[in-house]
Structure 1
Amino acid sequence: MTAYAVGDRVEARIGPVAHGGHMVARVPAGDHNVVVFVRHALPGELAVVEVTGTAKRFLRGDAVEILEPAAERVAAPCPLAHPDGCGGCDFQHVSLPGQRALKAAVVAEQLQRLAGLDVDVTVEEVPGSPDGLGWRTRMQYVPLPDGGRGLRKNHSHDVVPVERCLIEAPGARIQLVGEPPSGATVVETVRHRSFEVAADGFWQVHPAAPETLLGSVLELLDPQPGERAVDLYAGVGLFSAFLAEAVGPTGSVLSVEGDRRASDLAKRNLADLRTTIVRSGRVDRVLSDLDAEGAPGADLVVLDPPREGARKQVVDLVADLAPRAIAYVACDPAALARDLSYFAERGYRMSVLRSFDLFPMTHHVECVALLVRDR
Structure 2
Amino acid sequence: MGDIWRKNMKIGILSMQKVDNYGSVLQAYSLKKMIETLGHQVEFIDIKRGEDENLNAQCKKLSSYSADKDKSWVACQMLRVINKLSNIEAERIYDKFRLNELHIKRNTNNSIYDVCTIGSDEVFNCLQSSKWGFDSQLFGNVKNAKRVITYAACCGSTKEEDLSEELRQAIITAMSNLDAISVRDENTEKFVRTLIGRESVYNLDPVAVGDFSAEIQSSNVNGKLPKRYCIVYSYQERISDKETISAIRNYCKKYNLVPIAPFGRQKWIKAQKMLAPFELLKAFMNAECIITDTFHGTIFGAKFGKKMAVIIKDSNRNKLEDLIDRLGIEEHVVTDIDELENILSVELDRDRIDKVLENARKNTFQYLEENL
Tell me whether the two structures share a fold, i.e. TM-score over 0.5. Answer: no
What TM-score bracket applies, with the shorter chain setting the length? Answer: under 0.3
Structure showing greater Rg: 1
Structure (1 or 2) with the greater helix fraction? 2
TM-score (ref. length: structure 2): 0.25
TM-score w.r.t. length of structure 1:
0.25
